């Protein structure tokens, strides 16, 4: 029973941090506010997280797994490789539609936001975020390799193309946040496919 309460306290702190940091960023959220919103005392906070920085690392890990789960569901579905890629970004758009409906504002990609805010301030956080984006690139790279293997694509530099897709996705999310306009994300699935086609058509160096 005690273990259950401890686990629940950590979960409340973590979920509160995920919510507040997504909407307002890391620096604007204080430990006292986190504790108040989560309904726990500071002693409980520091029992689970020695510092706000450690909490941020835990937040990154949760975001990382949730995005991997979201993309993995689409990327491993029973469709042709390129159809899976398109559906991955359709699903991503649907998720952000839901987030905007809840928050009333477009807040962009939570991991991209943290990368912009903290990558030049903390090396461990930078590396954790770098590893996360590498995971995404790797997933798309493997899918593009499957497309090449099945003849759906000619031979292309799948790794560079996957990196371009992720960079484009993050750029779109930043623009959508800046303009506070979900419509910016509407064409994401189509534009990702256009990027892949452009990689096919690019002349060899």
- pLDDT tens digit sequence for 151-179: 999 999 999 999 999 999 999 999 999 99
pTM higher than the cut 0.85: yes
Q: What does pLDDT average to over the chain?
A: 90
Q: What is the mean pLDDT of residues 7-12?
A: 89
Please say whether the beta carbons of 25 and 113 come within 8 A.
yes
Q: How big is the chain, counted in residues?
A: 205
**pLDDT value at residue 73:** 81
User: Where do the domains of the chain lie, and which CATH numbers do they carry?
Assistant: 1-50 (1.10.10.60), 56-201 (1.10.357.10)
CA angle 34–36–39, rounded 5-degree value: 105
In angstroms, what CA-CA distances link 167 with 101, 134, 135, 199?
A: 25, 11, 13, 14
Question: Where does the pLDDT of residue 203 fall: very low under 50, low under 70, confident under 90, or very high at 90 and above?
Answer: low
Q: Among 15, 13, 18, which Cα is nearest to 49's?
A: 13
Q: What is the mean pLDDT of residues 132-142?
A: 94
Q: Has residue 103 got a pLDDT over 50?
A: yes
Question: Where does the pLDDT of residue 205 fall: very low under 50, low under 70, confident under 90, or very high at 90 and above?
Answer: low
Question: Where does the pLDDT of residue 201 fall: very low under 50, low under 70, confident under 90, or very high at 90 and above?
Answer: confident
Please say whether the beta carbons of 166 and 133 come within 8 A.
yes
Distance CA 142, CA 61 (A): 22
């Amino acid at each position: 029973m005690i273990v259950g309460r401890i686990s629940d306290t950590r979960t409340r702190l973590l979920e509160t941090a995920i919510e507040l940091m997504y909407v307002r960023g890391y620096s604007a959220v204080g430990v006292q506010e986190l504790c108040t919103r989560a309904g726990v005392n500071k002693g409980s906070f520091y029992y689970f997280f020695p510092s706000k920085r450690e909490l941020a690392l835990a937040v990154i890990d949760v975001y990382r797994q949730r995005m991997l789960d979201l993309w993995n569901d689409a990327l491993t579905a029973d469709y042709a490789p390129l159809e899976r890629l398109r559906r991955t970004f359709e699903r991503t758009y649907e998720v952000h539609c839901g987030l905007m409906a809840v928050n009333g504002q477009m807040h962009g990609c939570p991991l991209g936001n943290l990368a912009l805010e903290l990558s030049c301030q903390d090396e461990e956080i930078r590396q954790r975020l770098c590893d996360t984006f590498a995971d995404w690139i790797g997933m798309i790279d493997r899918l593009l390799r499957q497309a090449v293997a099945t003849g759906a694509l000619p031979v292309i530099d799948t790794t560079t193309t996957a990196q371009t897709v992720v960079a484009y996705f993050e750029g779109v999310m930043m623009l959508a946040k800046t303009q506070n306009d979900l419509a910016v994300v509407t064409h994401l699935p189509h534009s990702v496919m256009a990027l892949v086609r452009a990689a096919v058509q690019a002349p060899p160096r």
